[in-house]
Structure 1
Amino acid sequence: MEDEKLYSGADKKIFSKLWQYGSPYLGKIMIIFVLVLVLSGIQICLPLITKKVVDNYMERSHLRLIRNDKSIEITNQHKSYRILTDQFIFIPSNILSKEEYLRLEEDSLIGPEKYILFKGDESVNLLKKYQLHITKTAQGVFIPYSEIPKISQDDIRILRSNDLKNVKLFALIYVGLLIFTFIFNYFQVIMMALVSENVLYDLRSDLTRHLMSLSLNFFNNNPIGRLVTRVTNDIDALRELFTDVLVYSGKDIITVIGIFIIMFRLSIKLSILVLGIIPLIFFMLYLFQKYAREAYGKVRLTLAKVNSFLSESISGISLVQVFNQEEKFKDDFGKINRDYYKANLYQLLIFSIFRPLIDILSYV
């Protein structure tokens, strides 16, 4: 039995050949791409909605800074968030970086007390009956968190009624997006399955026609089991490529790009820090591709040997018994089976090393 060699051609050549089968279904592929874009956009929007609800309607705490040239300079990059009065600057407590907070603390320009903002004339009039330390601004009134217990529960419900309405509204939007995600994901899976099955049908048809046109000498030199593996197992591997790898890889790439855009809008320093590990990830991906491809190739080759041996043994079992070669064939099959077992273990080892490393980097 001749050993096969692993194909070492460029991935571009492989995908160019696959594209010949995918190009007739370009319209459906474009619809799938649009659905993937929509799903990626929804996936990015969901945590943004959570952030907006928590920061603007649930936890609306602000820090109070004494207004002078230094505090204005430090908070200049947060102009869209800060609220200015003649004496103070109010800024959301989750906006300032640790470095900015320490610089303000050095000159006693900031205190630990947190404040909450109530907007609207109704809030101002409602709070007048309480003896509170109120700071009026153009956007509303700020009161310290420590004085909230002085306000009755009924009045707190009135003051926070607008926040509750917004929380309910965004909760409905969130649930609606989840429903749309389910619907779009359903159609994307159906469309991808249709395209992949059509592509594989055409590939099987061409492969069958090609096999029928080959000479008898080819079938004499190539075991039937190996050919069956090519027509069945390898085609199934291509199905997995179309239905899982290509779609989810494209979706993940679009999602990562969207996340980085949002990260740079929120914090340039943090984004640059995160980007520092990207070269390490690419290097790990390069090593993983190299060794995983080799491991996967060994699994496919040893599986072809197992199928070939079984096919030859079953079809020639009478000859094996006539010449009393059962033990020899048993030992030969055991060796081939162990090779297949070792190839799978090697592939498992590659994945068991790579995945935890990526998980570790995700927590850095």
Structure 2
Amino acid sequence: MSDLERNRKSTYDLKIMGWILGFLGKYRGYFALSLLLMMATAALEITVPYLIKVAVDDYIYPTWSKAERGEEAERALSGLGVESTLALADGGFLVDFSKLSSSEKDRIERSGVEFSETKYIVVNPGEFEEDEKQEVLGIIARNASLFEETEGVAFLAHSDLGSLAKEEVSLLRSKQTKRLKTLALYVVLSVVGIFLFTSSFTYILHYSGQKIMHDMRNHTLSHILSLPQQYFDRNPVGRITTRVTNDVNAINEMYTSVLIHFIKDIIIIIGTLVIMFKMNVGLTLIIVALTAFLTFTVSIFRMKLRLVYREIRRTIGKLNAFVAESMRGIVLLKLYGKEKRNFEKFWEVNTENYRANIQQLWVYVIFRPSIEYVGIAATGIILWYGAIGVMNLDLSLGALLAFLYYVRMIFKPIQELSEKFNVFQSAVAASENLYDTLAEKSEGSGSLVPATTEGSLLEFRGVWFSYNEREWVLKNASFTVRSGESAALVGITGAGKTTIVNLLLKFYKPQRGQILFNGTDIEELSNRYLRSNITAIFQDLFLFEKDISDERDERDGPAAEPVKLSSGETQARSIEKAVRKNSKLLIMDEATSHLDAETEKRIQEVIRSTAGSQTRLVITHKLSTLKDVDNVIVIHKGEVVEQGTHEKLIQNKNIYHTLYEFLRKTAAGPLPGSGA
């Protein structure tokens, strides 16, 4: 990839990120509160292992070791605090390693002072209450062979505790037991806090996520509804449905499952590494090296998975589109016995999606085990290196346990990156799809709303139009429909009749010429104004469920069962609604093709009752309709070849005469394949 392409890609990604953040901005309060709760959760999660480390090192595991006497020991231990060293009568020293800093431990290690492997328990009777103090002194006196005394305190080997009674051991270590109870309380409170904070930010995240998804879906559908007809010609229904449903869901899942949790994981990793560096630099550097290796592995995985997920999203959209189209045309599939052929095509599309998912599986299978193996290796290294440190007194047992816990905390987010990358890459691909959809320009609309309606209602002036810019559908089409007039567009299949209606409704824009509505170019008119003054009824109709249920409730009450309307009933209801709307222009494109003779007669009477007050433009091949209109406009191969009254065109004995004779002789009603 060249530098220019990389810069363009980076700019494109920034635009997508800015678009997503635009939806998050409205709910930044929820976002900030979730972040605060998550930071508190991360702090508590980091605290728990450290509390365990303190409990083990200071109160559970003995921390006093005995240094052999000698000048080296005196020099090395001379600078230590009084609380961490005890001078013995034989010239040796007792050292409390839990109270030494890392630099003091390093200095002792470099001095070459040797320590016995035996660990000691130090008992200071002065720290007990008076009644307990007497009991402690009694225990020391009764077991004088086990205890040694120096500087007002007594000590004994940790292994000799087994020679004492259980009650005596409990009393001697009662101070440590009380402090352990306090630490245990802190651990319990931390766990409860983690639960409460996690539950709170999870609820807030999902609550705000649902709001964001609601806004995003509304915005997306609103924009799609504003797009020009060419967009819907290029994109099948299933693909558009995927944008509004699946793609928005993928972004919501990324917000609730990845974005905030990723910030929390970063906080935990940084906080954990800081504590680990304070406990042992060498062991921490090993963990950092392993983490860097994992990061490199994840970066490679990310690049591979992004390509795979983009392909998955593409094949899902293609699959949804195919299924939607198949279900919409199920009647035709069964009618012409094309189920097998349709299934073969579905198998190809489904196989394409299957292969894309298999590619994702291969990437996932390679990535996840590598993360787990590195994690197991890290645990083994810590046990080996840490155990040597514990034996050499470079690392406490509690610190080793904390290291094992912290490494799990560091590696767990990285291990979960495989699942999170699945969600993240799915969201990235969905974001690209949605952003590209929202980058589509809305259909153009003028702003003019005329105050008067004088002159001809509809006029085409030298209109040229092509769908593919290679073959003209309309060629220099010109005609006029005056206000209150009824006109019919007549022509063979593909002549351009329905195209004229689409241009009039501004679904498409002509390459040349003008279309005037009430004497004004429709490009200058507001789309809302134009379409509110035109009612169009097409051969293939769709009634929304709300329209059907509303009428049913008026007749049968709200408890009535849903009904399935026939094609004729659908057309009849549509025409009745259109006439009641009483718009300036009524367009009927084969609108009575599904009506029986009686229903059509009733509808025609209703339409005639509005004659003079409403302009009608009819596309039909029915003889009864052609005879009733004021003006017949004949379209042939995209050109207006003749126009006039029915009687006049019959007398001309041109194309219209030929079509009319064909219809009259066949008496078959509509011409097969009607509609352009």
- The two structures have a TM-score, normalised by structure 2, of 0.49
Q: 1:124 to 1:52 in 2, by over 3 A?
A: farther
- The SS at the match of 1:128 is helix
Q: Are residue 88 (structure 1) and residue 93 (structure 2) matched?
A: yes
**Structure of higher CA gyration radius:** 2
1:4 counterpart residue number? none
Deviation (angstroms), 1:281: 1.8
Letter in 1 for 2:156: I
**Alignment match, 1:146:** 159
Deviation of 1:84 (Å): 4.1
> Could you say which residue in structure 1 is the equivalent of 2:117?
112
Q: Are 1:181 and 2:194 counterparts?
A: yes
Aligned with residue 50 of structure 1, among 43, 46, 52: 52
Separation of aligned partners in 2, 1:37 and 1:277: 25
Structure 1 residue 185 displacement after superposition? 1.1
Between 261-270 and 158-167, the greater mean CA deviation after superposition: 158-167
Alignment partner for residue 356 of structure 1, among 348, 360, 369?
Answer: 369
What is the CA distance between 1:347 and its match in structure 2?
1.3
Q: Which has the higher helix share?
A: 1
The correspondence of residues 166-177 of structure 1 with structure 2, limited to 5 A, is 166-177=179-190
Unaligned runs of 5+ in 2: 1-7, 127-132, 379-676
What amino acid is the match of 1:267?
N
1:66-105 paired onto structure 2 within 5 Å: 66-68=68-70, 70-71=72-73, 82-85=84-87, 87-92=92-97
Q: Does 1:29 align with 2:58?
A: no
Cα deviation 1:109-154 (Å, max 9, x = unaligned): 2222221222342345641331235454669432112322332222
Relative to structure 2, which stretch is displaced further, 330-339 or 277-286? 277-286
Q: Is the 8 A contact 1:66 1:89 kept in 2?
A: no
Once structures 1 and 2 are overlaid, which stretch shifts more, 272-281 or 103-112? 103-112
**Equivalent in the alignment of 2:213:** 200
Q: Secondary structure at the match of 2:261?
A: helix
* 2:175 corresponding residue in structure 1: 162
1:9-36 Cα offsets, whole Å, 9 max, x none, are 6543322211111112122211111101
Q: Is 1:338 matched up with 2:351?
A: yes
| CA distance 1:37–1:236, shift in 2 (3 Å) | same
Misfit runs of 4+, over 6 Å: 72-81, 93-97, 103-108
CA distance in 1 between partners of 2:178 and 2:266 (Å): 36
Please state if 1:247 is matched with 2:260.
yes
Pair 1:256-2:269 in alignment? yes
- Structure 2 vs 1, CA of residues 201 and 138 (structure 1 numbering), >3 Å: closer, same or farther? farther
Counterpart secondary structure, 2:27 = helix
How many angstroms apart in 2 are the aligned matches of 1:75 and 1:294? 62
Structure 2 residue 313 is the aligned partner of structure 1 residue 300: yes
The more displaced of 329-338 and 276-285 is 276-285
Choose the corresponding residue for 1:314, options 319, 324, 327: 327
- Encode CA deviations 1:180-212: one digit per residue, 9 max, x unaligned: 211111110111112211211111111011011
* 8 A Cα contact 1:113 1:144, kept in partner: yes
| Structure 1 residues 21 and 297: alpha-carbon distance in aligned structure 2, compared to 1, 3 A threshold | same
Please give the root-mean-square deviation of Cα atoms over the aligned residues, in Å: 3.1
CA separation of 1:55 and 1:307: change in aligned 2, threshold 3 A: same
Q: Is the 8 A contact 1:42 1:177 kept in 2?
A: yes
| Inter-CA distance 228–288: structure 2 relative to 1 (3 Å threshold) | same
| CA distance in 2 between partners of 1:75 and 1:332 (Å) | 84
AA matched with 2:124? K
Q: 2-side partners of 1:283 and 1:15: how far apart?
A: 24
* TM-fit CA distance, 1:325: 2.3
Write the distance in 2 (CA, Å) between the matches of 1:137 and 1:245: 59
Question: What is the deviation of 1:82?
Answer: 4.2
Mapped to 1, the partners of 2:19 and 2:67 lie a distance apart of 64
Measure the CA separation in 2 of the matches of 1:16 and 1:308.
29
* CA deviation map 1:1-57 (0-9, x unaligned): xxxxxx966543322211111112122211111101100001001111111112222
What one-letter code is carried by the residue in structure 2 that aligns with 1:66?
E
Give the letter aligned to residue 54 of structure 2: K
- Evaluate the alpha carbon distance shift between residue 157 and residue 293 of structure 1 in structure 2; reply closer, same or farther with a 3 A threshold: same
Q: Which moved more, 1:160-169 or 1:132-141?
A: 132-141
Q: 2:59–2:179: 8 Å Cα contact kept in structure 1?
A: yes
Q: Which has the higher strand share?
A: 2
The 2-side partners of 1:356 and 1:85 are apart by 54
Query: Partners in 2 of 1:347 and 1:55 — Cα distance?
Result: 47
Q: CA deviation at 1:323?
A: 3.6
2:41 maps to amino acid: L
Q: Which amino acid aligns with 1:47?
A: P
Q: Closer, same or farther in 2 for the Cα pair 1:167/1:22, shift >3 Å? A: same
Q: Secondary structure at the match of 1:142?
A: strand
SS of residue in 2 equivalent to 1:232 = helix
- The alpha-carbon deviation at position 93 of structure 1 amounts to 8.6
Q: Distance in 2 between matches of 1:139 and 1:223?
A: 90
Tell me the secondary structure at the aligned position of residue 281 of structure 1. Answer: helix
Q: Equivalents in 1 of 2:271, 2:251: separation in Å? A: 29
DSSP 3-state at the match of 2:156: strand
Q: Does 1:283 align with 2:288?
A: no
State whether residues 117 and 143 of structure 1, in contact with CA within 8 Å, keep that contact through their aligned partners in structure 2: yes
Note if contact 1:21-1:203 (Cα within 8 Å) is conserved in structure 2. yes
* Percent of aligned pairs with the same amino acid: 26
Q: Is the 8 A contact 2:58 2:98 kept in 1?
A: no
Against the structure 1 CA distance between its residues 11 and 216, is the aligned structure 2 distance closer, same or farther, given a 3 Å change threshold? closer
Count of matched residue pairs: 355
Q: Quick check: 1:53–1:170 contact (8 Å CA) kept in 2?
A: yes
Name which structure has the greater RCO, CA cutoff 8 Å, separation 6+: 1
Partner amino acid, structure 1, of 2:25: S
- Decide whether aligned partners of structure 1 residues 226 and 83 sit closer, same or farther in structure 2, where only a CA change above 3 A counts: same
Aligned with residue 233 of structure 2, among 213, 217, 220 = 220
Q: How far is the alpha carbon of 1:72 from its aligned partner? A: 6.8
**What's the secondary structure of 1:114's corresponding residue?**
strand
The change in CA–CA distance for 1:156 and 1:244 in structure 2 (over 3 A counts) is same
- Which residue identity lines up with residue 293 of structure 2 in the other structure? L
Segment drifting more, 133-142 vs 144-153: 133-142
TM-score (norm 1): 0.87
- Partner Cα distance (1:145, 1:314) in 2: 80
CA deviations 1:212-266 (Å, max 9, x no partner) are: 1011221111000011111111111111111110121111110011100100110
| Residues 285-304 of structure 1: per-residue CA shift (max 9 Å, x gap) | 21011011112212211111
